[in-house]
Amino acid sequence: MAISGFSELRVPGDHGSIYVRDFPGRGPAFVVLHGFPDNSLIYDELIPHLVSAGRRTVAVDFLGFGASDKPKAARYSFAQQLGDLEAVVETLKLDQIIPVGHDAGGPAAVNFALKHPDRAAAIILMNAFYGDAPGLRVPELIALFSRKELKALQDHFLSSPQQFAWLLDFQRERLKTILKDTQKTRYMEVLGPIIDDNFRQGAGPAFAQMTFQLTDEIAAGTARLIDFRNSDVPLLIIWGRADPYLHVSVAEYLRSQAKNAALHVLEAGHWPQIDEAAEVARIILGSH
């Protein structure tokens, strides 16, 4: 979906500039954060609903992804992504935000709220992870790139665009298995090109480094669960039921660990903001 009416800016970071689209509006800004294989374009079905309701929305491409810089010497990490978010908030002079974390964008959303509770009006998570939840599974592609003993194999696949594309095609078919036919079509028409273009534009190094740190970040999130449990920042969880990896049990576990949480389960896949954009917007706007 082509969207307009936003300001583009590049936010300086420690290792390069971060590409941001700022949609004007009122209230604490929804700052949308993407995961491993994609970029902020995964929110382009959802953003028009939020903006048409008058809400400010900020779409961020983490360093190394989308239209952000991809410096060769950069060391990509979950800490760096939190720093990206902090830099965006400071540059745009946002007093309060609602970070929206999808997939691997979840840790940055949660960690921002834990570190800056006065600046987070709420947290929204969609098919994301934080800590070692019972039932947590990761796609085979992510599992491969998160295994430190398979570093040589990972480098081999990254050095061959054809073989890496084969891996992506395998994972794409797995993620589509329990989607409705209409959602499968949307997956191929909307999400497929976003992911493919992301890697064509050079997101491979950031993807590889971030996935390589996955088990470390899960352990770090588990260690921070005491802070998560004690946080007063409201948590809204929106989950696609037809996700063959991040099962609804992960969402239920996150809700059980939070002091003030609400869970909405939709008939959607791993990307509910694409599969059920209008319903996701209704829930978000009704809650915040």
pLDDT reported for residue 43: 98
Quote the pTM value. 0.95
Q: Is residue 252 domain-resident?
A: yes
Q: Is residue 1 domain-resident?
A: no
Measured distance CA(115)–CA(119) in Å, rounded? 9
By residue range, what is the domain housing residue 242?
Answer: 7-287
User: How many other CB atoms sit within 10 Å of the CB of residue 153?
Assistant: 12
Measured distance CA(224)–CA(73) in Å, rounded? 29
pLDDT reported for residue 273: 97
Count of the separate structural domains present in the chain:
1
> Could you tell me the CATH number of the domain that includes residue 98?
3.40.50.1820
pLDDT digits 0-9 by tens, 174-215: 988 888 898 899 889 999 999 999 999 999 999 999 999 999
pLDDT reported for residue 1: 53
Q: What is the mean pLDDT of the chain?
A: 95
> pLDDT 10s digit of each residue in the chain, 288 long?
568 789 999 999 878 999 999 999 999 999 999 999 999 999 999 999 999 999 999 999 999 999 999 998 889 999 999 999 999 999 999 999 999 999 999 999 999 999 999 999 999 999 999 999 988 999 999 999 999 999 999 999 999 989 999 999 999 899 888 888 988 998 899 999 999 999 999 999 999 999 999 999 999 999 999 999 999 999 999 999 999 999 999 999 999 999 999 999 999 999 999 999 999 999 999 987
Q: Is residue 2 domain-resident?
A: no
Q: Is residue 124 domain-resident?
A: yes
| Closest by CA position to 100, among listed 43, 42, 51, 30 | 30
Q: Is residue 89 domain-resident?
A: yes
Q: Is residue 140 domain-resident?
A: yes
Contact 54, 26 (CB under 8 A): yes
Q: Is residue 79 domain-resident?
A: yes
Q: Is residue 144 domain-resident?
A: yes
